[in-house]
Amino acid sequence: MPFEIKKVGVIGAGQMGSGIAHVCALAGYDVLLNDADPSRIGTAIEGIGANMAKQVAKGGVTEDDRQAALQRLKPAATMAEMKDCSLVIESAVEREEIKRQIFVSLCDVISPETLLASNTSSISITRLAAATDRPERFIGIHFMNPVPRMELVELVRGIATDDETFEASKTFVSRLHKTYAVAEDFPAFIVNRILLPMINEAIYTLYEGVGSVEAIDRAMKLGANHPMGPLQLADFIGLDTCLAIMQVLHEGLADSKYRPCPLLVKYVEAGWLGRKSKRGFYDYRGEKPVPTR
């Protein structure tokens, strides 16, 4: 019989991890949410409830659906509580050493049958899998942000990922009412391999004085029909995440076209990370965002 995913663990209660827990619970899975900082878990679950309420208000789900989903969503103070999960998805910060440590710790406490997945947006699935005791049961399941609204999921097989894991992951994604695209295990996969160099080029365009923040974003919204400008999008993603992905591309592909723009590096060094820190290419501390350059 095909492997069936019944209970899902999510490690990381930030924006992405919360979104993954949200859609899994709505799809009928029992979900355990864990974070290195236990105080973030309760806040995340409250946020998930509020986001589901917005879906109810828009008619996307019923109040009964929301209440049932929240009943299925539970905090997990320790990884050991995930011992009977069918699938555990890591959605921690985009730093390889931290992700590897999480998977090493997980393998000590979960069942040998448990599938492992990373929500990494750029790091090698093959390398992450090699840190575990089950590389054949390891896969990349990369959700897009914001998870409840974005339809696409990238499925990324490592060199050792077996067919059973791949098929179970496809079934899982379909049950979430998402559409998957299969990507080969190369730096940044498909979406970010294309998207982040575009954002980086927009930052170079600002850095070189070709256009202002407002001009660049207006040009791409009205001239290329993008729903939001690339600098606005960078702030939404997080400038630290943008930089991390560009560094993975630059190091992994050794091509100068992926060199992170020095202005992006400077903003991250300043702690101006975008929306989450209230300043990036826009300042979000007032009533409406104001360009910082």
Point out the residues that are catalytic: 121, 142, 154, 192
Cis ω before 146 (30° cut-off from 0): yes
CA distance 156 to 34: 23
Residue 283 host element (H or E): strand 282-283
Contacts 24+ apart (CB under 8 A), 106-113: 106/11, 106/79, 106/82, 106/132, 107/132, 107/133, 107/134, 109/79, 109/80, 109/82, 109/83, 110/79, 110/82, 110/83, 110/85, 111/83, 111/84, 111/85, 113/3, 113/86, 113/137
Q: Which two tokens stand for residue 205?
A: 């365009």
The residues facing 174 across adjacent strands are: none
